[in-house]
Structure 1
Amino acid sequence: MTGNANWGAKFDTFGNKVKWFGYKLHLAVDAKSELPMALKVPPAHVNDGDEGPSLMKRIVERFKPLFFMLDAGYDQLKNYKMARSVKAQAIIPMNPRNEKEPPAGMTSKGTPCCSMGYPMTYWGQEKERLKFRCPHATGKVDCPLGMTACSASNYGMVVKVDTQQDLRRYAMPHRESRGWKELYNKRTSVERCNSRMKTYLTADQLHVWGIQKVTTHQYLNAIVLLASALAVSRQRVVAAA
């Protein structure tokens, strides 16, 4: 009896295709503590992006996150919509396999270009809109026409993009901003949590079959990890008292 197990495949760090028969472990992890907040175990063939909304829903039942950092496997419109529906932002790299031709005058990551074809400078956000300024005015490029060809203002031309036009392409903060990159870098916390569950616990040492038993097995691993972190925290409090 194999329960709901199925064949799955993915590419490893070196670009090699890895196949296995079984399940996938999807973890939602707190970026600061690197501890699991929710998990789900679907069959291995289920697409990663399909599991995003249900994991987010489990998180918002108890917490109010501002950002969800996910890898490119979750780059599907439904994950961006789910995050926005709970007043959060999904921080997900764009998967080239899902990419279409960007709107005219836009880069693939949602940066508008000026009349000379230069990508404009991101200048913050106003509610649901992203603000961009003339790249010559902000010192990013040395435009041969200066600012006079685009605007009579010393501030330079300004373009505001409504993120509701395309929740996938237009993120808050902007995809090409330092803030977006800093947020996405926090996603490595889930990799470290996953590694601990495999290295120090038994997340990848299954001796049971069936989706329910496998899920229970992974919940026990998560509980042990959480209990260990709680014990260490209490020891530190006692030591400091």
Structure 2
Amino acid sequence: MFDELVKTLSEELPDFGRRLAMDSKAIASWASRPSKEKKEDGRRDLDAAYGVKTYRGTREDGSTWEKVVRWFGYKLHLVVDAKHELSVAYTVTKGSRSDVKEGHVLLDEMEKRHPEMLKKAEVLTADRGYDDSKLLSRCWDEYGIKPVIDTRRLWKDGEQTRLLPGHTNVVYDERGAVYCYCPETGARQQMSNGGFEKDRGTLKKVCPAKAYGITCQRREQCPVAGGVRVPLAVDRRIFTPIARESYKWAKEYRYRTAVERVNSRLDVSFGFERHTIRGLAKMRARCGLALCVMLAMALGRVREKQQERMRSLVRSVS
């Protein structure tokens, strides 16, 4: 039923599935902890596992914050259409399941059940929990989908920049920003984005003196005055078809919140904040039913020419 609804909505809405967002949702089991007894009695949850999600950010004053969420239960892994806020693929696992590993499973499911949607998709957004070079490479190499996935800080020993291969005065950081050094003064400037060359698989970086009009004393002698090309192959985790430090990347990344709004509707409108579900099979059935209801109501709105209300879960009284 779920797959049929996704297929029908894709036919009704030409842009359905063009922008995708991926995330996981913690769902606590009705059981509060694992049981030492392994025999089923209708009350124990023998499938659930402990899960942990860590959220980090930076405040306006530059200080960092961290929030750790722990639960005993399950994870709902979702891929949603970021414009219409409707699910296109999902899996339910134990709470201990890795987001990155299940991200590959979600792509496998879409390839098997909805290959036409992978061909249509242009962008996939996700948080740093999905920051993985294999996942990023797969999106672009196999499906032509531009991944917009936040980066984790994995460089160690205080490493801030690395030398760009083939250059002596160009470096890059873990966010994908590229900098050049003036041969005369040693002053560092961030190079401007010049777009992505699909046929070459490279990101173009423009000389800051040319892009911003700043003064560079040795511009005529600078080996990168004409700009540089950065192959994605330098580091597939850091360099992606949409440059990470570009305005376009920031704009696309904001679509990621669509999956969070879907999660919120599951909690509030479908009762996943307070439930009495135990067991993986029942949790999968309940999640699938809730997502089918969302899709069915959206399809009904579209066919009634009420597309602007397709996310609404209540009936209009007018």
Deviations 1:72-129 (A, max 9, x none): 1111222112212222122111112x34544221122223322322111111111111
Which residue is 1:125 aligned to? 196
Give the SS at the match of 1:42.
strand
Q: Percent identity?
A: 30
For the pair 1:8 / 2:79, whether they are aligned, the reply is no
- 1:174–1:59 Cα change, 3 Å: same
Gaps of 5+ in 2: 1-43, 57-64, 164-170, 183-187, 308-318
Which deviates further from its counterpart, 222-231 or 110-119? 110-119
Give the SS at the match of 2:208.
coil
Counterpart amino acid of residue 79 in structure 1: L
Which residue is 2:290 aligned to? 221
TM-score of the pair, normalised by structure 2? 0.67
Counterpart amino acid of residue 220 in structure 2: T
Deviations 1:21-78 (A, max 9, x none): 0001111100111001111111111222221111123234421212210101111222
Aligned pairs for 1:46-65 (under 5 A) are 46-61=97-112, 62=114, 63=117, 64=119, 65=121
Give the SS at the match of 1:29.
strand
Which residue is 2:233 aligned to? 164
1:70·1:92 contact (CA, 8 Å) conserved in 2?
yes
For the pair 1:77 / 2:133, whether they are aligned, the reply is yes
Give the SS at the match of 2:242.
coil
Which residue is 1:137 aligned to? 210
Cα distance in 2, alignment partners of residues 182 and 173 from structure 1: 11
1:114 to 167, 180, 196: 180
For the pair 1:86 / 2:129, whether they are aligned, the reply is no
1:209 to 278, 281, 295: 278
TM-score of the pair, normalised by structure 1? 0.87
Counterpart amino acid of residue 175 in structure 2: K
Cα distance in 1, alignment partners of residues 104 and 202 from structure 2: 24
For the pair 1:27 / 2:70, whether they are aligned, the reply is no
2:209·2:216 contact (CA, 8 Å) conserved in 1?
no
1:75·1:93 contact (CA, 8 Å) conserved in 2?
yes
Which residue is 1:40 aligned to? 91
Which residue is 2:162 aligned to? 103
Deviations 1:142-201 (A, max 9, x none): 23416223159xxx4210011123211101110011111111111111111111111111
Counterpart amino acid of residue 73 in structure 2: G
1:9·1:19 contact (CA, 8 Å) conserved in 2?
yes
Cα distance in 1, alignment partners of residues 302 and 110 from structure 2: 23
Give the SS at the match of 2:47.
coil
Give the SS at the match of 1:32.
coil
1:237 Cα deviation after fit: 5.6
Gaps of 5+ in 1: none
**CA RMSD in angstroms, aligned pairs only:** 2.2
Give the SS at the match of 1:36.
strand
Counterpart amino acid of residue 112 in structure 1: V
1:4 Cα deviation after fit: 2.2
Which residue is 2:260 aligned to? 191
Cα distance in 2, alignment partners of residues 59 and 113 from structure 1: 39
